[in-house]
Amino acid sequence: MVTASAPGKLYLFGEHAVVYGEPAVAAAIDRRATVTVEARDDDHLRVDSEDLTLDGFTVEYGRAAEEDPDVDVSESLIEAATGYVDAAVEQARDAADAPEAGFDVTIESEIPLGAGLSSSAAVTVAAIYAATRELGVELTPGEVAERAYRVEYEVQEGNASRTDTFCSATGGAVRVEGEDRESLDAPELPLVVGFDGGAGDTGALVAGVRDLKDTYDFAADTVDVVGDLARRGEEVLLDGDLEELGDLMDFNHGLLSALGVSSRSLDAMVWAARDAGALGAKLTGAGGGGCVVALDETEETETALRYLPGCEEVFRAALDTEGVRIE
C-alpha cells in the first residue's frame, strides 16, 4: 500500500491565455489531495472518495467496457470523480508495463472540486505517483507531470495546459509557456482565497473564450495582453513587489471578465477584497464560479469575505514548495 499527496494551485496570472501559448504564472498552495493505492489480485478498480465537495462514495468496476460501475449516484458525478483516476491508473499501468494491474484507490482531498484550485490535477498527480510506486516504479516529478498532463488532456478533451499538473507535481511557483516549464524562486505571498461554493465548466469556458477570440480581433488582442501581463507579473513576483503584483492581478481580473469568464459571485468577492484594502484580487482558474485569490497582509480581506453573502469559505493559503510526495 502506498499513499501519496500533491498540492492544489492557484493562478497568479495567465489562465485561459496559456491555452493559446501565452505564459502563465501559478503557485502551489498548502491544500493537498491524498491518494492511497493498494494493488489487488484482479484487474478491477475500486475507488473510494472522501472530499470537500462530494459526499463520500465507493465505486468498483472491472476493465471490460460492459462492466459499468454499480453505484447509486448520478453518472456525471461518477464520470467526473473517476475519469481522472481511471486515466491516471492507465498511465501507471503503462509506466510499469503492467496492463492488468488492479487497485483499491482511496482519495481524500482538501481542495474544492472544479473551483480553480486544480483538485483534478492534484488527484491525478498523486494517483500516478502512488500507483507507480505500488508497482515498483519510481517516477521523477517531471515524469509524473508529463503523464498527468496526458490524463488531463484526454479527460478534458484537449482543453488543458501543462500548468496545473506541472505545478502540482513540482510544488512552488511556476511559469508555463507552451511546452516550456520552469520553477520560479518566489517569495512567500499573503494569499487569501474566497470560494463561492460553486464550480465552472472548464471545457465550456475555454470554448467560449476560443469563440470570442476567433470572432473578434480585439478579443484575440485581449488574450495577447493577458500574456504580456503574465510576463510582467513574473518579473514583479521575483522582485517581491507586492503593490505592483496586486495592481497586475486587478488588471488580469478585468481582462478575464472582458473575456466572459467571471461571474457575479466571483466579481462580488473580488470587489469585497478590494474594498477591504487588498493589494489586488482576481478569479483563479477557468472561472464561471469557484475561487478568487486576493493579496492582503492584514486580516481585512478575510473578514470582509467571511461576511459576504455568497462567499462560502475563506482561507489563507501559503505557497507550498513541496510537490508530490509519499506520505
Query: Which residues of this chain interact with ligand PMV, rule CB under 6 A?
Result: 15-16, 18-19, 116, 118, 160-161, 163-164, 202, 206, 285-286
| Single-letter code of the amino acid located at 180 | D
Tell which residue, 303, 300, 295, 302, has the closest CA to residue 319: 295
Please name every residue paired with 280 in a beta bridge, in sequence order, or none if there are none. Answer: 295
Here the cell at position 206 is 475555454
For ligand PMV, give the closer residue by CB, 293 or 295: 293
Of the pair 4, 206, the CB lying nearest ligand PMV is at 206
CB atoms within 10 A of CB 286: 27
In the complex with ligand PMV, the residue whose CB is nearer, 178 or 240, is 178
Rounded CA-CA distance 193/322 in Å is: 20
Active-site residue flag, 164: yes
Instruction: Please identify which of the residues 51, 86, 164, 196 carries the catalytic annotation.
Output: 164
**23 and 14 in contact (C-beta within 8 Å)?**
yes
Tell me how far, at minimum, the Cβ of 28 lies from ligand PMV, in Å. 12
Measured from each CB, the residue nearest to ligand PMV is 285
Could you give phi then psi for residue 280, rounded to 5 degrees?
Answer: 180, 160
The whole-angstrom separation of Cα 270 and Cα 173 is 22
Q: Is 117 helix (H, G, I), strand (E, B) or coil?
A: coil
Q: How far is the CB of 171 from ligand PMV (least distance, A)?
A: 16
| Nearer to ligand PMV (CB atom), residue 17 or residue 305 | 17
Q: How far is the CB of 117 from ligand PMV (least distance, A)?
A: 6
Least distance (Å) between residue 254 CB and ligand PMV: 17
Q: Catalytic residue positions?
A: 164
